[in-house]
Amino acid sequence: MKIRATQAIMECLLEQEVDTVFGYPGGTILNLYDELYNYQDKIHHVLTAHEQGASHAADGYARSTGKVGVCFATSGPGATNLTTGIATAYMDSSPVVFITCNVSENLLGKDSFQEVDITGIAMPITKATYLVRDPQTIPDVMRQAFAVAATGRPGPVLIDFLKNVTFLNAMIDYEFIPWTQNRSTDSIRELAVSHGLKAPEPDLGDIDKLVEMIAQAQRPLIICGGGVVRGRADKQFREFAEKLDAPVAITVMGGGGFPGAHPLTTGMIGMHGSQASNVACNECDLLIAVGCRFSDRVALQPESFASQAKIVHIDIDRSEIDKNVLTDHHIIGSAKRVLELLNQRLPQYSHPEWKAHILPLREKQPVEEGEKLTPGQILDCIQKAVPHDTIVATDVGQHQMWSIQHFHFEYPGQLLTSGGFGTMGFGLGAAIGAKMGNPDKVVVHTTGDGCFRMNCHELATVQYYNLPIITVVFNNGTLGMVRQWQHLIYNEHYSQTTLDRGPDFVKLAEAYGLKGKRVTNRAEMEAALQEALSCGCGYVIDCQIDMDEMVRPMVAGGAHITDFLLK
């Protein structure tokens, strides 16, 4: 049947079962927003305060729900304001479709008002980009974009529609095809083959070889990476770890892929990894990394990483194999499918001596007593006050590491954090997306005073949509993680890291119509949390902590994984 081009875009969103979109309108995308007006009973649009906030919200929605997030923005600065969010999603393999509109065909390439080559800009930080010049291609492009974003290793995709493509009198042929069917159409199948999107079926010979390696190992260690979380392979991973009876180290992106309180968990690995995880990595004889890219925050010194071990890498993306750390064996495939095949072949193992050596090295995160408020007290209060399934969105820095070290994440999508790109300002947008996608769950946003300044204007979004998100500011009056490096490595040259300036975060919350409280000790923190949980609106807790609090442990970048600067 014949329908408007803009109508086809909305219908394609419905094909993909999209019910929530985050965005910010502008001149070139007005035709799309005009059509959205007709679909407001089917597609809920969340208007953020800034395009970057919309990008992080769509990302947080995707991570917390397992669905594809969707974000709208106009051309020029609207589109470029998305790039930090696109790169954040790309580095952490989060499936988001970004939809922008550009100037009309006759204005393209003429430095027209708010014109920018966003497909060219976004090409290195997306799985694919599409510049749509012909309205007849809209259904195929939309279906391909969602398939690319969600299939194989997930990631962001950008579609840029020329404004003339969205003219309200543009009519195209369209037939509604549910996504469960359109993923099997010829065009999508061809796309999957040509782009390597479909996760390859693991080679059974590779599976059997790993089974043999496991049988010979005396000191195995498993790393739970982000691929376990993205692939929702947590059940298969847990069965594998328990069959192997091996310690499990967890990367930042792996949080929630394996229960943080499980008896086999050794905690985070790498720069701020636990002694148990880092020592186990150094002394194991078989290291099995599942969905882990061996970044420089994990494999700080690649040439000496797990030097006593046979290293096995399981990953959906062949390009990650031997990129950072040379392996002895690898298996290409989705984490879920590889682990299913392994679990079918593995007997029950027992490694009591190895566990008795490693597991006692686990450090309980300290909760210091006394009148002075500490990070440990803050996190202990939160953990005791909120439901066990609470979603935690963090920004980047000391508070991020403290949060990941302290909380026991139990399921994929419970921890939302920018692990690869390290984006300050990510947390509040991600929390908004998570709350929109999980309205029945408590959402806590942990942040630092430096990070919070970057996107605190999204409190307007929190207020308008009546989202009871609890923002906890670890306010130490400094860029804490940078100051920690300056203290330990740069001879205490505290160059441009002291934040002796506004705003007053409590008054800021009140200015946005929210509630806030400044706390200086544990009793005040406990009282503020109870009020935040019961008030039914957004709440900002300004936690005053010492400027020289540090994240422990710490290994310097490029150092051996057990050369701790701090323990």
CB 29 within 8 A of CB 159: no
Asked if 551 contacts 488 with a C-beta cutoff of 8 angstroms, the reply is no
Burial class (CB in 10 A: 0-12, 13-18, 19+), 167: middle
User: Do 167 and 278 belong to one domain?
Assistant: no
Question: Residue range 43-68: average pLDDT?
Answer: 98
Report the run of H or E that residue 287 belongs to, with start and end: strand 286-290
Angle, CA of 161, 147 and 419, to the nearest 5°: 90
Residue 370 has pLDDT above 80, yes or no: no
Strands 415-416 and 470-475: what pairing?
unpaired
Establish if 531 belongs to a structural domain.
Answer: yes
Q: Each residue of 355-366: b (16+ CB within 10 Å) or e?
A: bebbeebeeeee
- Separation between Cα atoms, residue 530 and residue 536, nearest integer Å: 11
- Do 398 and 328 lie in one domain? The reply is no
Query: DSSP states of 483-529 as a string?
Result: HHHHHHTSTT--TT-B------HHHHHHHTT-EEEEE-SHHHHHHHH
- List pLDDT tens digits, range 192-215: 555 556 778 999 999 999 999 999
**Cα-Cα-Cα-Cα dihedral sign, residues 227, 228, 231, 236:** positive
Tell me, what's the pLDDT at 474? 98
Structural domain contains residue 409: yes
Residue 351, SS3 per DSSP: coil
Reply yes or no on whether 113 is catalytic. yes
List Cβ neighbours of 83 (8 Å cut-off, separation of 6 or more). Answer: 121, 122, 125
- Please tell me the predicted confidence (pLDDT) of residue 369: 80
Q: For residue 565, tell me if it sits in a domain.
A: no
Dmax (CA) for the chain in angstroms is 74
Q: Which domain holds residue 551?
A: 375-556
* Per-residue pLDDT at 184 exceeds 90: no
55: enclosing H helix or E strand: helix 51-65
Q: Which of 17, 113, 181, 353 is catalytic?
A: 113
Same domain? For 247 and 297 the reply is yes
Q: Of 170, 195, 220, at which residue does a domain stop?
A: 195
Q: What is the mean pLDDT of residues 143-172?
A: 94
Q: How far apart are alpha carbons 545 and 370 in whole angstroms?
A: 13
Amino acid at 427: G
Per-residue model confidence (pLDDT) at position 189: 56
Of the residues 481, 525, 550, 554, only one is catalytic, namely 481
Q: Is the pLDDT of residue 440 over 80?
A: yes
Beta-carbon-side half-sphere exposure of residue 146 (alpha carbons within 13 Å): 26
The half-sphere exposure of 226 on its side-chain side, counting CA atoms within 13 A, is: 24
Domain ends where: 329, 361, 393? 361
Identify the three-state secondary structure at position 132. strand
Catalytic residue among 51, 115, 320, 549: 51
> Where does a domain end: 155, 174, 195?
195
pLDDT, average across residues 336-359: 98
Q: Which of 7, 127, 163, 484 is catalytic?
A: 163
Give the pLDDT score at 567. Answer: 79
* Average pLDDT value for residue range 128-154: 95
Claim to verify: residue 415 and residue 280 sit in the same structural domain: no
Q: 157, 128 in Cβ contact below 8 A?
A: yes
State pTM to two decimals: 0.96
The span from the CA of 52 to the CA of 120, in Å, is 19
| Chain segment 394-430, per-residue pLDDT in tens | 999 999 999 999 999 999 999 999 999 999 999 999 9
* Residue 305 shares a structural domain with residue 215: yes
Say whether both 191 and 47 belong to one domain.
yes
Residue 463 lies in a domain: yes
Per-residue pLDDT tens over the stretch 255-308: 999 999 999 999 999 999 999 999 999 999 999 999 999 999 999 999 999 999
The 10s digit of each residue's pLDDT in 70-79 is 999 999 999 9
Residue 116 belongs to a domain with what CATH number? 3.40.50.970
Q: Is residue 563 part of a domain?
A: no
Residue pair 509/515 in contact (Cβ under 8 Å)? The answer is: yes
- Which residue stretches of 71-218 are H helix? 77-80, 83-91, 118-122, 138-150, 179-182, 186-195, 204-216
Rounded to whole angstroms, the Cα distance separating 433 from 393 reads 10
Dihedral-angle region of residue 342 (phi above 0 means left; psi in -120 to 50 means alpha; beta otherwise): alpha
Residue 114 annotated as catalytic: yes
Query: Which CATH number goes with the domain that contains 270?
Result: 3.40.50.1220
324-346 per-residue burial string, b: 16 or more CB within 10 A, e: under 16: bbebebbbbbbbbbbbbbbbeeb
Is 298 inside a domain boundary?
yes
d(CA 89, CA 430): 11
Kind and range of the H or E run holding 391 = strand 391-394
C-alpha 380/C-alpha 358 separation (Å) is: 25
Q: Which two tokens stand for residue 106?
A: 């006759």
- Catalytic residue check, 163: yes
Q: Tell whether 402 and 487 lie within a shared domain.
A: yes
pLDDT of residue 139 exceeding 90: yes
The gap from C-alpha 289 to its chain's centroid, in whole angstroms, comes to: 19
CA–CA distance, 202 with 240 (Å, rounded to integer):
16
Kindly list the distances between the CA atom of residue 474 and the CA atoms of 423, 440, 463, 537, in Å, as whole numbers in the listed order.
17, 26, 21, 20
What pLDDT does residue 186 have? Answer: 59
**pLDDT score, position 187:** 59
Q: Which of 336, 427, 311 is nearest to 64 (CA)?
A: 427
Active site residue 171: no
* pLDDT above 90: residue 179: no
Question: Do residues 116 and 10 share a domain?
Answer: yes
Helices (H), 363-479: 375-385, 398-406, 426-437, 449-455, 459-464
- Give the pLDDT band of residue 509 (cuts 50, 70, 90): very high
- Please check whether residue 464 lies inside any domain of the structure: yes
Both 185 and 213 in a single domain?
A: no
Which residue among the candidates 67, 114, 171, 547 is catalytic per the annotation?
114
258 in active site? no
Structure tokens at 59: 């990302």
What is the number of structural domains in the chain?
3
**Is 156 a domain residue?**
yes
Residues 485 and 461 both lie in one domain: yes
Which of 334, 266, 332, 320 has its CA nearest to residue 292?
320
96: three-class secondary structure by DSSP: strand
Phi, psi of 332 (to 5 degrees): -95, 125
The pLDDT value recorded for residue 367 is 78
User: 547, exposed or middle or buried, with CB in 10 Å at 0-12, 13-18, 19+?
Assistant: middle
Residue 169 pLDDT grade (very low, low, confident, very high; cuts 50, 70, 90): confident
pLDDT of residue 65: 98
Q: Which residue has the tokens 């007005």?
A: 30
- Are residue 254 and residue 396 in the same domain, yes or no? no
Specify whether 218 is located in the same domain as 191.
Answer: no
Average pLDDT of the chain?
A: 95
436 alpha-carbon distance from chain centroid: 16
pLDDT at position 188, please?
Answer: 60
CA dihedral 211, 216, 220, 223 (to 10 degrees): -30
Q: How far apart are CA 398 and CA 400, in angstroms?
A: 5
Give the residue-averaged pLDDT of 488-493: 94
In this prediction, residue 180 carries a pLDDT of 78
Of 110, 59, 65, nearest in space to 88 by CA: 59
Does 387 score more than 70 pLDDT?
yes
**Token output for 554:** 């710490």
